[in-house]
Each structure stands twice: as structure tokens, then as C-alpha cells.
């Protein structure tokens, strides 16, 4: 079943390239494949916990294999929930964008590759699917082949492939000495654990290499540039697939390869906490300065991804719980905000925040959804952003002096987040231009996606304790 969830959308997406160019057929098949894949994922999460599958033995110690544990379940559940809604949204959005014949097959393939990262049973499998994710999403970033899209794609390619090369430096010794197995608490051999300097160097190579997709400084600039891609792409790039794959891979190598106990108190931990703290504040400052709505949201993602990196770098059970919680809740909030930006772009052609004054009069549903997402991202109590930020803050306090550094970055970013997230919404609500607009909320497909995500935000806030309890169990099993 794990193999089916990974390879079925990859195979189906590949075959879609051979289909006749009939839009209705393509849309129906894409949604059916996506829903069936998501159903198989949730079936696996309920009934196949702990299941391992060896897909392809390579050598005596290396193999392509899948395994379902708590950490993988968190990432897989996130992707399986968001992808069908994103596909539904894309049906209406891409009608205006064009290029659907190759867009939807690649979109479907990316789903399977993302699940390959989530279900990876060892380091080699994760690395292979991590690289395939770059290859599958690169054509989506340069969709339309406009000059700015091609420049963004080139930057994306240099950063992600360069990061993968850096990660390979740390990955090869682990594969050589351990076979790349994942084990809670780490699996470092004496050849590495007995040489702390070499061990920390290899860890930083892996952390920074995989951290490129998580947009940690100084490898962050590709992410705002990628905002030129179609909104269904940027929404998943910045919410579920690429950037969260980077954070997830960092968690894997930290807790399942090197081990939190080995890394705690090292210079490598200090470096990662410093970089994450700087990125949190810098990303928030850039978001405040940005006037293009999608790029503002992209800079917000740069900041919020480092919330996850910071919390995971505390190397405590509470820190990992906070990282998993924000990985889930941030994805839900951010994809909602990106979808509202896409709806505004499709219906009005507006991209600059100053152009959206008084938009609530003609697009009330879109504006309301944006405000709910913005309040959630800002950390309003009873909404999920508050719960995840609270978890990270309390974990930072309990971690000691290094945690206080991260806490200061969190508090600074919290103030800036309220500014950059809420000001566009207040402008839409209250700053009327005094002119009548003929624009309206988007059609049924985009509106249904927006409403479903808004309901999910409310439910995540109301049942945050239940979700945190499940996530805490996954974190405890990872130590």
C-alpha cells in the first residue's frame, strides 16, 4: 500500500501526457487519481503503522524501501489532505493560466514524489525522492516560459541542486558506515561518533544542504523569486511539498541518523539555532517591506519555515513536537492565504497590495477567508497559529540559554507578522476607493477550496489539543 501511494500518482501522471487534449477528461482523471492516492495514504495511516516495504534491493546494505512511522505519518497526512483541494482549485485557476496539458501531469507526479519523501524507509530512498522532487517541480516553476519565470527556475535549480550536492557530502559517509538506516535516536557508528569534529561537519553539510529547500539563510532567495509561478504551484511549494520536504528531511537526519542526544550542546546546534533565528527575523522584515502580495507571503514562508528549523534544532521532545505542530498548521494557513491571492489575481489582475483597497465590496468571500488566514498566522488565540507558536515558545524556554535566543526571534517576528499579514486585509476591508467594481468572488471550484480550508483552520484551532497529542506521540517515538 505504501508503494501504491507513491508510484500510482507517478505512473498515472506520466500516462496523462499520452491522453488526448480533452480538458474535462484530464480534470476528472487528475482529481480521481489524487483522491484515490489520498485515500490510500489515510488507509495506511490507520491500518499500516509500522509497516515496512523493500521495493528494490541494490546492494547488501542499500535498498529502496518505504516505512511508515510517526514522523512520516505527519508529513504524509498533510500532503494527502491538501493535494485534492489544491487540484480542485487549479481546475479553475489554470483555465486562465493555460498550459494545462503538461501542468496537471506534473502536478500529479509531484504528489507521488512528495509521498516518497514522507514514506522513505532509509536515507538513500529519501535522498532519491528529494532530488526527484526538484526535477518534478522545476517545470512547474517555469510554467509559461516567461523571462521572469525562467530566471526564477534557474535560481531554483542552482539552489536546490547545489543544496543536494552539499547534502550528499554528509550522506555518503552515513550510507557507507550504516547503510543509511533510520533509527529513532540516531544510528551513528563509532567511526563518526568518536570524532565529534567530523561528525558535526557532516551534520552541517546535511542540515544546510537539505535546509536549502527550507529556505534557511543564506540559501533563501530562491523562494520569493519562485512566487512568479502559478498560484497552485506556489501554494504547494510554500505550504506542503518542497519547503516542508526540506524541513522534514532536516528532522529525519537530525533525529533518525545523527541523533538528538549526540547533537545537543554542540557547535553545530548553535550554528543551526543562530541561522534559524536570523532567518525568522530577516524573513519577517522583508515581508513587511514587500508590496507584492504573493512575494510578501513568500517572505513570510521564509520566516515561518525557520520556526520549524529552530524548534527542531532544540533537539528535545518538546522542540520536535513544536516543529511537527507548526509544520502542519503553517501549511494549512499559508496555502489558504496563497489561494486568496490567486483568486484576486484571476478575478482582478491585481498583485500589489495598494491596488486591493476596498476589495471586500466586490470579493467578500475572498476577503473574509484572507482575514481568517491572516489572524491565524498572526497567532490569534483559538486559531491554530497560536497553538503551534506557543508550543515552540515553551520548548525554547525549557531548552535554556540557546532557546532564549530563539524566543527573542519568535517574539520579534510575532509583532512583524501581525503587521505584514493583517495590513493587506484591513486595506481590503476599510480603504475604499470610492469606485464601483465589476469584479466578483471566484467560481465554484476555487470558492469550495477556500471554504474547505477555512473550515479546516477553525477545526484545527478547536481541536488543537487533540492534534498536538497525536503529534507529541510521533515526537516521543522519534527520540
3-state SS assignment for residue 371: helix
Contacts for 381 with CB less than 8 Å, ≥ 6 apart: none
H or E element in which residue 63 lies? strand 63-67
CA-CA distance, 446 to 427, in Å (whole number)?
22
Closest CA to 417 of 394, 447, 383: 383
CA-CA distance, 114 to 240, in Å (whole number)?
9
According to the model, what pLDDT value does residue 435 have? 54
CA-CA distance, 406 to 413, in Å (whole number)?
11
Q: Are 82 and 16 in contact (CB under 8 A)?
A: no
Burial class, 218, CB count within 10 angstroms (exposed 0-12 / middle 13-18 / buried 19+): exposed
H or E element in which residue 64 lies? strand 63-67
3-state SS assignment for residue 155: helix
Residue 435 CB coordination number (10 Å): 8
Contacts for 99 with CB less than 8 Å, ≥ 6 apart: 143, 144
Bridge partners of 53, per DSSP, are: 66
Tell me, what DSSP letter sits at residue 255? I
Residue spans of the domains in the chain: they are 1-263, 264-479
**Per-residue pLDDT tens listing for the chain (479 residues):** 899 999 999 999 999 988 887 888 888 999 999 999 999 999 999 999 888 999 999 887 888 999 999 999 999 999 999 999 999 999 988 888 878 888 899 999 999 999 999 999 999 999 999 999 989 888 888 877 678 888 888 888 899 899 999 999 999 999 988 888 899 988 888 877 788 888 999 999 999 999 998 889 898 888 888 888 888 888 887 777 788 999 999 999 999 999 899 999 899 999 999 999 999 999 999 999 999 999 999 999 999 999 999 999 999 999 999 999 999 999 999 999 999 999 998 888 888 888 888 888 888 999 999 999 999 999 998 899 999 999 999 999 998 888 898 999 999 999 999 999 999 988 888 866 555 556 778 888 999 999 999 999 999 999 999 999 999 999 998 87
CA-CA distance, 107 to 339, in Å (whole number)?
16
CA-CA distance, 3 to 395, in Å (whole number)?
36
3-state SS assignment for residue 432: coil
According to the model, what pLDDT value does residue 102 have? 86
Q: Are 162 and 205 in contact (CB under 8 A)?
A: no
CA-CA distance, 39 to 41, in Å (whole number)?
5
Q: Give φ, ψ of 332 to 5 degrees.
A: -65, -45
CA-CA distance, 372 to 402, in Å (whole number)?
33
CA-CA distance, 5 to 458, in Å (whole number)?
29
Amino acid at each position: 500500500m505504501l508503494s501504491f501511494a507513491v508510484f500510482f500518482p507517478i505512473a498515472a501522471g506520466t500516462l496523462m501526457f499520452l491522453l488526448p487534449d480533452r480538458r474535462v477528461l484530464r480534470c476528472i482523471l487528475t482529481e480521481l487519481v489524487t483522491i484515490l492516492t489520498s485515500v490510500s495514504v489515510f488507509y495506511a495511516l490507520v491500518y499500516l503503522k509500522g509497516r515496512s516495504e523493500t521495493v528494490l534491493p541494490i546492494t547488501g546494505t542499500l535498498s529502496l524501501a518505504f516505512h511508515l512511522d510517526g514522523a512520516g505519518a505527519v508529513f504524509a497526512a498533510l500532503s494527502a489532505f491538501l493535494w485534492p483541494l489544491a487540484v480542485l482549485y487549479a481546475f479553475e485557476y489554470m483555465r486562465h493560466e493555460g498550459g494545462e496539458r503538461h501542468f496537471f501531469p506534473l502536478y500529479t507526479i509531484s504528489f507521488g514524489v512528495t509521498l516518497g519523501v514522507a514514506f522513505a524507509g532509509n536515507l538513500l530512498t529519501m535522498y532519491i525522492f528529494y532530488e526527484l522532487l526538484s526535477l518534478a517541480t522545476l517545470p512547474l516553476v517555469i510554467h509559461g516560459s516567461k523571462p521572469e519565470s525562467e530566471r526564477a527556475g534557474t535560481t531554483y535549480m542552482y539552489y536546490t541542486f547545489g543544496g543536494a550536492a552539499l547534502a550528499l557530502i554528509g550522506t555518503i559517509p552515513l550510507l557507507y558506515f550504516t547503510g543509511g538506516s533510520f533509527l529513532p535516536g540516531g544510528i551513528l557508528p563509532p567511526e563518526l561518533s568518536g570524532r565529534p569534529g567530523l561528525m558535526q561537519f557532516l551534520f552541517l553539510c546535511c542540515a544546510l544542504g537539505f535546509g536549502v529547500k527550507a529556505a534557511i539563510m543564506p540559501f533563501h532567495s530562491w523562494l520569493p523569486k519562485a512566487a512568479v509561478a502559478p498560484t497552485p504551484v506556489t501554494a504547494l511549494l510554500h505550504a506542503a511539498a518542497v519547503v516542508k520536504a526540506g524541513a522534514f528531511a532536516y528532522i529525519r537526519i537530525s533525529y533518525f541518523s545523527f541523533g538528538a542526544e549526540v547533537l545537543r550542546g554542540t557547535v553545530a546546534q548553535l550554528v543551526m539555532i543562530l541561522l534559524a533565528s536570523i532567518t525568522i527575523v530577516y524573513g519577517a522584515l522583508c515581508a513587511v517591506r514587500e508590496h507584492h502580495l504573493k512575494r510578501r507571503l513568500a517572505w513570510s514562508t521564509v520566516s515561518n519555515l525557520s520556526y520549524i528549523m529552530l524548534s527542531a534544532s532544540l533537539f528535545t521532545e518538546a522542540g520536535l513536537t513544536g516543529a511537527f505542530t507548526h509544520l502542519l498548521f503553517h501549511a494549512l494557513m499559508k496555502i489558504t492565504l496563497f489561494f486568496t491571492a490567486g483568486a484576486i489575481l484571476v478575478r482582478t489582475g491585481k498583485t500589489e497590495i495598494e491596488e486591493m483597497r476596498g476589495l471586500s465590496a466586490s470579493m467578500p468571500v475572498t476577503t473574509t477567508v484572507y482575514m481568517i488566514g491572516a489572524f491565524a498566522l498572526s497567532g490569534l488565540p483559538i486559531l491554530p497559529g497560536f497553538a503551534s507558536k506557543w508550543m515552540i515558545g515553551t520548548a525554547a524556554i525549557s531548552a535554556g540559554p540557546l532557546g532564549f535566543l530563539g524566543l527573542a526571534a519568535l517574539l520579534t517576528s510575532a509583532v512583524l507578522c501581525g503587521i505584514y499579514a493583517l495590513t493587506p486585509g484591513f486595506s481590503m476591508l476599510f480603504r475604499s476607493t470610492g469606485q464601483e467594481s465589476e469584479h466578483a468572488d471566484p467560481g465554484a471550484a476555487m470558492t469550495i477550496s477556500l471554504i474547505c480550508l477555512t473550515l479546516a483552520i477553525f477545526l484545527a484551532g478547536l481541536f488543537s489539543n487533540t492534534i498536538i497529542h497525536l503529534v507529541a506521540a510521533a515526537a516521543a517515538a522519534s527520540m
